[in-house]
Amino acid sequence: MAQASIANSEFDRDTAVTLREEGVYDAELSAGWTIFGAVNGGYLLAVVGRALGDALPHPDPFSVSAHYLSASGPGRAVIRVQTVRSGRTLSTGQASLFQYTEDGTEVERIRVLASYGDLDALSDDVRTTAKPPAIPPIEHCLGSEDGPAPIPGSAAITERLRLKLDPATCGWAVGAPSGKGEMRAWFELADGRDADPVSLLLAVDALPPTAFELGIKGWVPTVELTTHVRCRPAPGPLRVSIVTRNLAGGFLEEDAEIWDSADRLVAQSRQLALVPRG
């Protein structure tokens, strides 16, 4: 499939922000990135990440910490950005995304602290003991088009992604969850656009929740999500691996790693999420 350019990428179009005045950006959250009617938290973060990248002196997200305050819906949004500190290597910013009630009152959806830098300025020094996730070849993994839908059909976001799940983490889709808090997938944007640092903010939160493989159904709302982008991703499909080790007291963590086609660890994230009751 031909790669999308910026002009025809639905991801770029749907995460676009427009400068209204210094530090204030308008955006339109697209209904295309919803799950059960709520806007996906990773997509939301990518929209905020675009505004931060425009406002800060450095272009790339290095560390982005988001606290989720209320569920977002499709429609108009405004992002207010503050530059907290401008340094040589890194700059730090703060951003909030608001939507509107019927009478026009602003309601805050997400608040973000972020440190931005320049990924192209990093040294080539790599000393890692991390290993890419064990995931079968993409042709042996399962998408929503492969029979018993591994991703609920009610999620519009499935049409925006080429998500191919490891069959070992698909048990939940046929009523046989593995009992392990693991989810692995090949990830590409459906429009064929290659991954960039901002799209990694989407990718860390775009797989079905690990809770599904623990036999838990329903929405698992994110409390906090921090993503570290460690390297500019190479073209080609990404591998995303998410692990939950501790479900306790009604909360769980999701630890995500993203690896690119050059076998580089390009992003790490952790989120704290609320387990649905019952």
Cβ-contact 150, 170 below 8 angstroms = yes
- Min dist CB 63 to a copy of itself, Å, is 4
Task: Single out the segment in contact with a copy of itself by CB under 8 A; choices: 12-20, 66-74, 161-169, 170-178.
Answer: 66-74
Which parts of 2-61 interact with a copy of itself (CB under 8 A)?
A: none
Q: Which candidate, 245, 251, 181, places its Cα nearest to that of 214? A: 181
Q: Decide: is 176 part of the binding site for a copy of itself (CB under 8 A).
A: no
User: Which residue in the set 27, 67, 74, 240 belongs to the binding site for a copy of itself (CB under 8 A)?
Assistant: 67
Cβ atoms of 83 and 93 within 8 Å: the answer is yes
Task: Draw the binding track, 69-98, toward a copy of itself (x: CB under 8 A; -: no contact).
Answer: xx-------------xx---xx-x-x----
Is 101 one of the binding residues for a copy of itself (CB under 8 A)? Answer: no
Number of residues counted as binding a copy of itself (CB under 8 A): 51
Q: How far apart are the first and last CA of the chain?
A: 44
Q: Pick from 138, 219, 265, 276: which binds a copy of itself (CB under 8 A)? A: 265
Strand order in the sheet with 238-243: 18-21, 24-29, 75-86, 91-100, 106-117, 60-68, 222-229, 265-274, 251-259, 238-243, 182-189, 161-165
102 binds a copy of itself (CB under 8 A): no
Q: Are strands 161-165 and 75-86 parallel, antiparallel or unpaired?
A: unpaired
CB of 51 to a copy of itself, least distance (A): 17
Neighbours of 137 (CB within 10 A): 8
Q: How far is the CB of 101 from a copy of itself (least distance, A)?
A: 15
Q: For the CB of residue 268, give the shortest distance to a copy of itself in the complex, in Å.
A: 6
Rounding to the nearest 10 degrees, give the CA dihedral for residues 162, 167, 169, 173.
Answer: 80
Q: 């993503």: which residue's tokens?
A: 227
Which uninterrupted H or E stretch holds 11? helix 10-14
According to the binding rule CB under 8 A, does residue 100 interact with a copy of itself? Answer: no
Contacting residue, 65, 83, 178, 261, with a copy of itself by CB under 8 A:
65
Q: Point out which residues bind a copy of itself (CB under 8 A).
A: 62-63, 65, 67, 69-70, 84-85, 89-90, 92, 94, 108, 111-115, 119, 122-130, 180-181, 214, 223-224, 226, 228, 230-231, 245-251, 253, 264-265, 268, 270, 272, 274
